[in-house]
Structure 1
Amino acid sequence: MADGVRARRSAPPREEVLAAAMEMIAERGLEKLTMAALGRAVGMSSGHLLYYFGSKDELLLRTLEWSESRLGAERGRLLTRAAPARERLAAYVDLYVPDGHRDPHWTLWLEVWNRSLGAVADARDRQAAIEGAWHRDLAALVAEGVSRGEFRPVDADRFAARLRALLDGFSIHVAIGLRGTDREQALGHVREFLTESLYR
């Protein structure tokens, strides 16, 4: 029994490791995160963590993918409910924009983007897959709203690309704590843009 307990402590559930990594990256940034510190937080040796992840960059990507899988499930729930397209678009925007300075999910994205220039093709492909899911869901929602007459006739794919660029820009400002841009201000700008360009 003691051996079984030790085995469980040396290999905690994957979600526990990724949740701890997300919290530590948000608090310290990836550069200050050490495998030893993460290991202490989850009761695992740094050697075990390196065995499972290989590098801090891989740990970062897996943590982002885990975080995104949770957000993706929430996004799917919001977008498939029985509600007008405009209401579901507001929910999408609300989910997209960070809660505030050092939002953990957005801190992960900032770290990933910071490493994108030197990333290998596999890492860039995985990042593109995550961003592609957000884009496809948004484009489909815009197309649905147009087809139902709720939105002005726009090219859904092009509009989604532009809206996501706007969301990314404001979200980065919110996440890094840029003075004069908080979450409510960002949401206000996006609502104004949608009123002027999309809503009937």
Structure 2
Amino acid sequence: MTRDSAERREGILRATLDMIKEGGIDRVRGADVAKRVGVSVGLVFYHFDNLETLIVEALTYAANRDIEHRDAALAASSSDVTERLHTMLREYGPSGSEFGWRLWVQAWSASLRDPTLRRVVHDLDEGWRAVIVGIIDEGVEQGVFACPDPVAATWRLTSMLDGLAVQHVVFDDTVTVAQIRDWTQVALSRELGI
């Protein structure tokens, strides 16, 4: 793939994400994406076989950006395992414009009808949980955390954050970021003794 072709493909992905942000996954149309990017519909589907593939690739692109952001935040954080866990959970939970969470709420919903999208969302969720389990395991090994089952603790923490994030982004701050952070700290105290 040439540089121009790769840039055009990335532009199509970014435009698709913008359209999802504006109107939702179900309202994305290939012709609208093409118009926004200033290319033909044929070129959109040259890069992406069909609309389903375009949406799945756009969400994969967004997931990879989220993972890069998470990894950069973890790399920049302290070597202290407790601080790294706090950084990870801040990255996992809603923050900033919350578009990422709005996107994933839509993706969860759309994945009920699309098995390919369901695999993308599942793999993304599994990847985030694996990182959290790894940090908790490290904290247990260091004697910093008291946790008999890091996998179960991770599931409980991420499930709580998932639910709170949905309340925060879907229902316009019914639950605030400050409350989410406070309640996460309570959960960490109960789950890990910190």
TM-score scaled to structure 2, two decimals? 0.85
Find the partner of 2:135 among 126, 135, 141: 141
Letter matched to residue 123 of structure 2: A
What corresponds to 1:119 in structure 2? 114
Change (3 A) 1:37 1:194: same
| Partner deviation per Cα, 1:70-111 (whole Å, 9 max, x = no partner) | 22123223335542111111111111122367x322222122
Q: Which runs of 5+ in 2 are unaligned?
A: none
Structure 2 residue 163 is the aligned partner of structure 1 residue 169: yes
What's the Cα RMSD here? 2.5
Change (3 A) 1:25 1:170: same
**Is the 1:30–1:111 Cα contact (8 Å) retained in structure 2?**
yes
What corresponds to 2:151 in structure 1? 157
Find the partner of 1:85 among 72, 81, 87: 81
Cα distance in 1 for partners of 2:6, 2:73 equals 34
Cα distance in 2 for partners of 1:184, 1:20 equals 32
Change (3 A) 1:10 1:142: closer
Letter matched to residue 111 of structure 1: Q
| Partner deviation per Cα, 1:123-161 (whole Å, 9 max, x = no partner) | 333322211111111100010011111111331111111
**Is the 1:10–1:45 Cα contact (8 Å) retained in structure 2?**
no
Letter matched to residue 134 of structure 1: W
Find the partner of 1:183 among 160, 170, 177: 177
**Is the 1:78–1:91 Cα contact (8 Å) retained in structure 2?**
yes
Cα distance in 1 for partners of 2:124, 2:158 equals 13
Cα distance in 1 for partners of 2:28, 2:154 equals 35
Segment of structure 1 superposing worse, 137-146 or 166-175: 166-175
Change (3 A) 1:87 1:9: closer
**Is the 2:112–2:118 Cα contact (8 Å) retained in structure 1?**
no
Cα distance in 1 for partners of 2:168, 2:9 equals 30
What corresponds to 2:62 in structure 1? 67
Give the Å deviation of 1:178: 4.3
Q: Which runs of 5+ in 1 are unaligned?
A: 1-7
SS at match of 1:115: helix
Q: How many residues align?
A: 192
